[in-house]
Amino acid sequence: INEQHENIKYLPGVKLPENVQAIPNLEEAVRDATVLIFVLPHQFLPKLLPTIRAHVNPNRCHGISLIKGLDFDADTKLPVLISKSIENVMGNQFRCGVLMGANVADEVARQRTCESTLACDFGSDSVNEQIRQIFDEEHFRVSRITDVAGAEACGALKNIIALGAGFVDGLNLGGNTKAALLRIGLLEMTKFCTMFFEGVEKGTFMESCGVADLITTCYGGRNRKCASQFAKRRGV
Protein backbone atom coordinates (compact mmCIF):
# COMPACT_ATOMS: atom_id res chain seq x y z
CA ILE A 1 0.00 0.00 0.00
CA ASN A 2 2.77 2.46 0.90
CA GLU A 3 5.06 1.61 -2.02
CA GLN A 4 2.66 0.60 -4.82
CA HIS A 5 -0.44 2.49 -3.57
CA GLU A 6 -2.57 -0.57 -4.14
CA ASN A 7 -4.32 -3.12 -1.94
CA ILE A 8 -3.31 -6.13 -4.00
CA LYS A 9 -5.31 -8.57 -1.85
CA TYR A 10 -8.74 -6.94 -1.71
CA LEU A 11 -8.73 -4.29 -4.48
CA PRO A 12 -6.23 -5.34 -7.14
CA GLY A 13 -5.94 -2.89 -10.00
CA VAL A 14 -7.29 0.06 -8.00
CA LYS A 15 -4.78 2.81 -7.28
CA LEU A 16 -5.03 4.42 -3.86
CA PRO A 17 -4.27 8.12 -3.29
CA GLU A 18 -0.68 8.75 -2.29
CA ASN A 19 -1.79 10.40 0.95
CA VAL A 20 -3.19 7.05 2.15
CA GLN A 21 -0.61 5.42 4.39
CA ALA A 22 -0.63 2.01 6.03
CA ILE A 23 0.69 2.21 9.61
CA PRO A 24 1.02 -1.25 11.21
CA ASN A 25 1.45 0.13 14.75
CA LEU A 26 -2.00 0.87 16.20
CA GLU A 27 -0.70 3.25 18.87
CA GLU A 28 1.09 5.35 16.28
CA ALA A 29 -1.86 5.27 13.87
CA VAL A 30 -4.42 6.64 16.37
CA ARG A 31 -2.26 8.94 18.47
CA ASP A 32 -3.90 12.40 18.83
CA ALA A 33 -6.53 11.56 16.18
CA THR A 34 -9.59 13.81 15.98
CA VAL A 35 -11.63 11.37 13.86
CA LEU A 36 -11.56 7.58 14.12
CA ILE A 37 -13.13 5.49 11.35
CA PHE A 38 -13.83 1.92 12.39
CA VAL A 39 -13.76 -0.52 9.45
CA LEU A 40 -12.97 -4.02 10.70
CA PRO A 41 -14.73 -7.23 11.74
CA HIS A 42 -16.46 -6.41 15.02
CA GLN A 43 -14.99 -9.41 16.86
CA PHE A 44 -11.60 -7.66 16.90
CA LEU A 45 -12.90 -4.54 18.65
CA PRO A 46 -12.66 -5.74 22.29
CA LYS A 47 -8.90 -6.30 22.00
CA LEU A 48 -8.19 -3.08 20.08
CA LEU A 49 -10.38 -0.51 21.82
CA PRO A 50 -8.39 -0.28 25.09
CA THR A 51 -5.24 0.56 23.09
CA ILE A 52 -7.12 3.14 21.04
CA ARG A 53 -8.63 4.71 24.15
CA ALA A 54 -5.22 5.04 25.78
CA HIS A 55 -3.78 7.08 22.90
CA VAL A 56 -6.56 9.49 21.95
CA ASN A 57 -8.39 12.21 23.83
CA PRO A 58 -12.04 11.05 23.83
CA ASN A 59 -13.18 14.62 24.53
CA ARG A 60 -11.65 15.89 21.28
CA CYS A 61 -12.14 12.82 19.07
CA HIS A 62 -15.18 11.62 17.14
CA GLY A 63 -15.89 8.14 15.80
CA ILE A 64 -17.59 6.82 12.68
CA SER A 65 -18.28 3.10 12.32
CA LEU A 66 -18.71 1.28 9.02
CA ILE A 67 -19.05 -2.07 10.79
CA LYS A 68 -22.07 -4.16 9.78
CA GLY A 69 -23.42 -6.20 12.66
CA LEU A 70 -24.87 -6.16 16.16
CA ASP A 71 -23.61 -7.09 19.61
CA PHE A 72 -25.79 -8.78 22.22
CA ASP A 73 -25.92 -8.14 25.94
CA ALA A 74 -24.65 -11.19 27.80
CA ASP A 75 -27.27 -10.86 30.53
CA THR A 76 -30.40 -9.58 28.82
CA LYS A 77 -29.66 -11.20 25.42
CA LEU A 78 -30.93 -8.01 23.80
CA PRO A 79 -29.25 -6.52 20.71
CA VAL A 80 -26.68 -3.76 21.28
CA LEU A 81 -25.44 -1.33 18.65
CA ILE A 82 -21.74 -1.68 17.91
CA SER A 83 -21.43 2.12 17.94
CA LYS A 84 -22.73 2.02 21.53
CA SER A 85 -20.23 -0.69 22.44
CA ILE A 86 -17.47 1.55 21.09
CA GLU A 87 -18.77 4.54 23.06
CA ASN A 88 -18.96 2.52 26.27
CA VAL A 89 -15.33 1.46 26.07
CA MET A 90 -14.00 4.83 24.92
CA GLY A 91 -15.91 6.67 27.67
CA ASN A 92 -15.54 10.38 28.56
CA GLN A 93 -18.39 11.58 26.34
CA PHE A 94 -16.95 9.92 23.22
CA ARG A 95 -19.59 9.76 20.48
CA CYS A 96 -19.69 7.39 17.53
CA GLY A 97 -21.84 7.75 14.42
CA VAL A 98 -22.16 5.37 11.46
CA LEU A 99 -21.80 5.45 7.69
CA MET A 100 -24.13 2.98 5.97
CA GLY A 101 -25.54 2.66 2.48
CA ALA A 102 -25.71 0.92 -0.88
CA ASN A 103 -21.93 0.75 -1.14
CA VAL A 104 -20.47 -2.41 -2.67
CA ALA A 105 -16.75 -1.84 -2.05
CA ASP A 106 -15.44 -2.69 -5.52
CA GLU A 107 -17.87 -0.29 -7.19
CA VAL A 108 -17.01 2.50 -4.75
CA ALA A 109 -13.30 1.98 -5.34
CA ARG A 110 -13.80 2.18 -9.11
CA GLN A 111 -15.67 5.47 -8.67
CA ARG A 112 -19.03 4.25 -9.89
CA THR A 113 -21.56 6.76 -8.64
CA CYS A 114 -23.28 5.82 -5.41
CA GLU A 115 -24.65 7.38 -2.27
CA SER A 116 -24.41 6.73 1.44
CA THR A 117 -25.98 7.82 4.71
CA LEU A 118 -24.02 9.38 7.54
CA ALA A 119 -25.90 9.06 10.81
CA CYS A 120 -24.44 11.14 13.60
CA ASP A 121 -25.08 13.94 16.05
CA PHE A 122 -21.96 15.35 17.65
CA GLY A 123 -23.79 18.27 19.21
CA SER A 124 -22.59 20.83 16.68
CA ASP A 125 -23.90 21.50 13.18
CA SER A 126 -20.42 22.65 12.17
CA VAL A 127 -18.76 19.43 13.35
CA ASN A 128 -21.50 17.29 11.80
CA GLU A 129 -20.99 19.00 8.44
CA GLN A 130 -17.21 18.74 8.63
CA ILE A 131 -17.50 15.00 9.23
CA ARG A 132 -19.91 14.65 6.32
CA GLN A 133 -17.52 16.47 4.01
CA ILE A 134 -14.75 14.01 4.87
CA PHE A 135 -16.68 11.32 3.00
CA ASP A 136 -18.67 13.26 0.42
CA GLU A 137 -17.23 13.65 -3.09
CA GLU A 138 -18.32 13.67 -6.72
CA HIS A 139 -18.85 9.91 -7.08
CA PHE A 140 -19.79 9.23 -3.44
CA ARG A 141 -22.66 11.42 -2.33
CA VAL A 142 -23.29 11.50 1.40
CA SER A 143 -26.42 12.77 3.16
CA ARG A 144 -26.69 13.11 6.93
CA ILE A 145 -29.38 12.05 9.37
CA THR A 146 -29.38 11.84 13.17
CA ASP A 147 -30.90 8.35 13.50
CA VAL A 148 -27.78 6.32 14.35
CA ALA A 149 -29.73 3.34 15.69
CA GLY A 150 -31.93 2.97 12.61
CA ALA A 151 -29.09 3.35 10.14
CA GLU A 152 -26.79 0.94 11.96
CA ALA A 153 -29.41 -1.74 12.55
CA CYS A 154 -30.43 -1.62 8.87
CA GLY A 155 -26.82 -2.23 7.91
CA ALA A 156 -26.84 -5.46 9.89
CA LEU A 157 -30.33 -6.75 9.19
CA LYS A 158 -30.23 -6.40 5.40
CA ASN A 159 -27.62 -9.18 5.28
CA ILE A 160 -30.18 -11.63 6.67
CA ILE A 161 -32.67 -10.69 3.97
CA ALA A 162 -29.90 -11.04 1.39
CA LEU A 163 -29.43 -14.68 2.36
CA GLY A 164 -33.10 -15.27 1.56
CA ALA A 165 -32.64 -13.47 -1.76
CA GLY A 166 -29.75 -15.77 -2.56
CA PHE A 167 -31.84 -18.85 -1.82
CA VAL A 168 -34.54 -17.49 -4.14
CA ASP A 169 -31.99 -16.97 -6.91
CA GLY A 170 -30.32 -20.34 -6.38
CA LEU A 171 -33.63 -22.16 -6.61
CA ASN A 172 -34.75 -20.12 -9.65
CA LEU A 173 -37.94 -18.99 -7.94
CA GLY A 174 -38.14 -15.85 -10.06
CA GLY A 175 -38.37 -12.09 -9.77
CA ASN A 176 -41.85 -11.97 -8.28
CA THR A 177 -40.81 -14.12 -5.33
CA LYS A 178 -37.69 -12.04 -4.81
CA ALA A 179 -39.69 -8.81 -4.87
CA ALA A 180 -42.05 -10.23 -2.23
CA LEU A 181 -39.06 -11.23 -0.10
CA LEU A 182 -37.61 -7.71 -0.26
CA ARG A 183 -40.94 -6.09 0.62
CA ILE A 184 -41.59 -8.35 3.59
CA GLY A 185 -37.95 -8.15 4.59
CA LEU A 186 -38.06 -4.36 4.75
CA LEU A 187 -41.16 -4.54 6.93
CA GLU A 188 -39.42 -6.99 9.27
CA MET A 189 -36.37 -4.72 9.45
CA THR A 190 -38.61 -1.81 10.38
CA LYS A 191 -40.38 -3.84 13.06
CA PHE A 192 -37.10 -5.08 14.56
CA CYS A 193 -35.53 -1.62 14.68
CA THR A 194 -38.52 0.05 16.32
CA MET A 195 -38.96 -2.81 18.78
CA PHE A 196 -35.42 -2.89 20.14
CA PHE A 197 -34.06 0.65 19.69
CA GLU A 198 -35.34 4.05 20.75
CA GLY A 199 -35.61 7.06 18.47
CA VAL A 200 -35.73 5.14 15.19
CA GLU A 201 -37.31 7.30 12.48
CA LYS A 202 -39.49 6.00 9.64
CA GLY A 203 -37.65 8.16 7.10
CA THR A 204 -34.42 6.26 7.78
CA PHE A 205 -35.74 3.25 5.87
CA MET A 206 -36.07 5.37 2.72
CA GLU A 207 -32.44 6.51 2.93
CA SER A 208 -29.49 4.83 1.24
CA CYS A 209 -28.82 2.98 4.50
CA GLY A 210 -32.30 1.46 4.33
CA VAL A 211 -34.11 0.35 1.19
CA ALA A 212 -31.23 1.15 -1.17
CA ASP A 213 -28.72 -0.93 0.80
CA LEU A 214 -31.25 -3.74 1.01
CA ILE A 215 -31.73 -3.75 -2.76
CA THR A 216 -28.07 -3.68 -3.72
CA THR A 217 -27.17 -6.37 -1.16
CA CYS A 218 -29.99 -8.62 -2.36
CA TYR A 219 -28.82 -8.33 -5.96
CA GLY A 220 -25.03 -8.09 -5.75
CA GLY A 221 -23.85 -8.61 -2.19
CA ARG A 222 -21.60 -11.37 -0.87
CA ASN A 223 -24.31 -12.90 1.32
CA ARG A 224 -26.65 -13.25 -1.65
CA LYS A 225 -23.94 -14.87 -3.74
CA CYS A 226 -23.02 -17.37 -1.02
CA ALA A 227 -26.64 -18.31 -0.37
CA SER A 228 -27.31 -18.69 -4.09
CA GLN A 229 -24.36 -21.07 -4.53
CA PHE A 230 -25.40 -23.04 -1.45
CA ALA A 231 -28.94 -23.51 -2.79
CA LYS A 232 -27.68 -24.53 -6.24
CA ARG A 233 -25.29 -27.13 -4.87
CA ARG A 234 -27.42 -28.53 -2.09
CA GLY A 235 -30.83 -28.09 -3.68
CA VAL A 236 -32.21 -26.82 -0.39
Contact between 181 and 168 (Cβ < 8 Å): yes
Strands (E), the chain: 35-38, 62-65, 70-72, 79-81, 95-100, 114-119, 140-145
Contact between 103 and 130 (Cβ < 8 Å): no
Question: How many CB atoms are closer than 10 A to CB 35?
Answer: 13
Cα separation of 67 and 15, whole Å? 24
| Chain centre distance of CA 77 | 22
- Choosing from 158, 191, 225, 232, the catalytic residue is 158
Contact between 61 and 92 (Cβ < 8 Å): no
Cα separation of 109 and 51, whole Å? 30
Q: Is 35 helix (H, G, I), strand (E, B) or coil?
A: strand
Catalytic residue check, 158: yes
Active site residues: 158
